[in-house]
């Protein structure tokens, strides 16, 4: 199910994008056809009507499904996508991919200002973890766009950030920067096939968009789960991070989208220090693909497919391609991932475990859910995380990642072999010891057995 943010050669200039993707404003009743070059399945977003669909804006995102014209039914039959089940969550996935593409662009700009200009846009939360302009700005942007696309009454969001720090008297300048960053991003919505606001959002509107992400999840209903910048430490250091957006329905993850702006297209560059990578990417010629980086990876529950597309760039045609996990099942040949920071994970235990299983390769230590992306893309085979006593895993740190691995052919469970339970609120309650993600069942079973054999001596 390749999705295309425009699916055409984007110029980066709004007027030119509008000429290539004609649309009318949402308040108009007749929704125009968008011309998605190479789009292989029918998708609908807030502003467009695709592949002969005949739907009104009011019902375009209704859960009752599409209103087909005869031509669209023929198109579906040709593509083998006529069943209602195959179309389920397609609208949500389409919008989520576009919104994450927007968020990645926002993050790239903020990270560039942090690294090259030395602009201090980092604050500490009550738990001393860092939060940046990008965290709040992405949360506001995603919240506003989802509410516009699906209706604010139909959107519940579980997200990491709140407005407590932004609302302090000493944060006036920070808040102003967030508001400007959000509006700059929303102004680019047509570039991603979406409709932005007719005017710039005010401070109260941005704060409201952030505050609206106050769902606590649970076992019933539908809610989005957002980590606006997963791996904030990596983000502020110019290293790996991810924008993670998932949709959960009745406690099950049904849509997962990971934006990885710094993920190099070639596996070997993951092992280089981020500063070296940045230098080499700037020195390489514009036509060289050797140092290309940035992608969005996405999947839908039950599709058996995970897809990857590059980030939207000027003068570049987007192409999505399916990805799958590695076929390696010999531990001696496998690469395993683990968190960079030791604060919430035991490196010593995973090192001992790796040795006992026969893993010979050095661990791939990367920030954020990029670890999940690495396994889904076949760049690594194992991710192990064993939290220290007292630490509780949060659903936004895993929801999108587990789905893209599962649909790519991998396995993700807790250390007892049980599925992760996303129905208990914002935490992964009842987690047995830790999380194990593998490229296949055979490798997964070997890790599970090794954990059982080594656990009593782990001191965790």
Q: Does the pTM exceed 0.85?
A: no
> Of all helices (H) and strands (E), which one includes residue 137?
helix 133-150
Using alpha carbons only, what angle is made at residue 268 by residues 445 and 295, rounded to the nearest 5 degrees?
A: 85
Using alpha carbons only, what angle is made at residue 401 by residues 95 and 298, rounded to the nearest 5 degrees?
A: 35
Contact yes or no for 270/108 (Cβ under 8 A): no
pLDDT at 422: 97
Contact yes or no for 226/213 (Cβ under 8 A): yes
What's the burial of 128, exposed, middle or buried (CB within 10 Å: 0-12/13-18/19+)?
Answer: exposed
Residues marked active site are found at: 135, 232
- Neighbouring CB atoms inside 10 A of 350's CB total 24
pLDDT at 68: 29
Using alpha carbons only, what angle is made at residue 417 by residues 413 and 422, rounded to the nearest 5 degrees?
A: 40
> Of all helices (H) and strands (E), which one includes residue 452?
helix 441-454
Binding-site residue set for Mg(2+)? 160, 227, 230, 397
Contact yes or no for 137/159 (Cβ under 8 A): no
Binding-site residue set? 160, 227, 230, 397
The Cα 175–Cα 162 span in angstroms is: 13
- Token pair listed for 9: 């050669």
- Which domains, ranges and CATH numbers included, belong to the chain? 93-320 (3.30.540.10), 331-457 (3.40.190.80)
pLDDT at 253: 98
The Cα 123–Cα 373 span in angstroms is: 28
R_g (Cα) of the chain, nearest Å:
22
Say which DSSP state 104 is in: H
The Cα 37–Cα 449 span in angstroms is: 48
Q: Exposure string (b/e) for 440-452, b if CB count within 10 Å is 16 or more?
A: beebbebbbebbe
Contact yes or no for 240/278 (Cβ under 8 A): no
Q: Which residues contact 376 (CB under 8 A, 6 or more apart)?
A: 297, 299, 306, 323, 324, 325, 404, 405, 408, 410
Where would I find the H helices in 51-89? 70-79, 84-87
Say which DSSP state 82 is in: -
Using alpha carbons only, what angle is made at residue 243 by residues 241 and 247, rounded to the nearest 5 degrees?
A: 145
- Token pair listed for 180: 């400007």
Q: How high is the mean pLDDT in each 10-residue block of the chain (460 residues)?
A: 50 33 31 28 31 32 30 29 69 97 96 76 63 94 97 94 87 93 97 95 97 96 97 87 97 98 77 56 53 87 95 78 95 84 66 78 82 95 85 94 98 95 95 93 92 72
């Amino acid at each position: 199910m390749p999705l295309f943010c425009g699916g055409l050669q984007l110029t980066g200039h709004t007027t030119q994008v509008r000429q290539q993707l004609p649309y009318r404003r949402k308040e108009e009743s007749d929704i125009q056809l968008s011309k998605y070059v190479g789009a292989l399945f029918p998708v609908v977003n807030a502003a467009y009507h695709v592949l002969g669909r005949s739907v009104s804006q009011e019902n375009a995102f209704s859960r009752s499904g599409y209103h087909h014209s005869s031509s669209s039914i023929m198109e579906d039959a040709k593509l083998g996508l006529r069943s209602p089940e195959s179309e389920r969550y397609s609208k949500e996935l389409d919008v989520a991919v576009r919104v994450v593409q927007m968020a990645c662009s926002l993050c790239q700009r903020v990270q560039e200002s942090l690294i090259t200009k030395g602009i201090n846009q980092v604050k500490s939360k009550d738990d001393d973890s860092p939060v940046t302009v990008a965290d709040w700005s992405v949360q506001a942007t995603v919240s506003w766009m989802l509410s516009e696309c699906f209706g604010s009454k139909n959107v519940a969001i579980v997200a990491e950030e709140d407005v407590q720090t932004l609302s302090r008297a000493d944060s006036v300048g920070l808040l102003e920067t967030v508001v400007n960053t959000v509006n700059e991003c929303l102004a680019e919505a047509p570039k991603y096939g979406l409709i932005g606001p007719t005017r710039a959002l005010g401070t109260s509107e941005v704060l409201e968009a952030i505050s609206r992400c106050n769902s606590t999840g649970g076992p019933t209903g539908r809610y989005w789960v957002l980590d606006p910048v997963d791996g904030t430490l990596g983000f502020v250091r110019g290293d790996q991070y991810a924008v993670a957006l998932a949709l959960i329905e009745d406690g099950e993850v049904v849509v997962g989208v990971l934006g990885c702006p710094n993920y190099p297209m070639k596996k070997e560059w993951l092992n280089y220090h981020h500063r070296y990578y940045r230098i080499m990417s700037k020195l390489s010629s514009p036509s060289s693909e050797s140092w290309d980086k940035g992608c969005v990876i996405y999947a839908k529950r039950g599709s058996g497919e995970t897809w990857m597309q590059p980030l939207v760039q000027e003068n570049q045609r987007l192409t999505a391609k399916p990805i799958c996990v590695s076929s390696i099942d010999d531990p001696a040949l496998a690469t395993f991932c683990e968190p960079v920071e030791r604060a919430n994970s035991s490196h010593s235990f995973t090192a001992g475990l790796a040795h006992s299983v026969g893993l010979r390769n050095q661990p791939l230590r990367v920030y954020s859910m990029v670890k999940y992306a690495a396994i889904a893309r076949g760049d690594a085979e194992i991710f192990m995380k064993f939290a220290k006593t007292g630490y509780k895993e949060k659903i936004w740190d895993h929801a999108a990642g587990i789905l893209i691995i599962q649909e790519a052919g991998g396995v993700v469970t807790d250390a007892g072999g049980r599925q992760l339970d996303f129905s208990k609120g914002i935490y992964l309650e009842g987690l047995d010891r830790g999380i194990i993600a593998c490229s296949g069942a055979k490798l997964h079973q070997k890790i599970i057995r090794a954990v059982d054999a080594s656990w009593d001596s782990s001191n965790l």
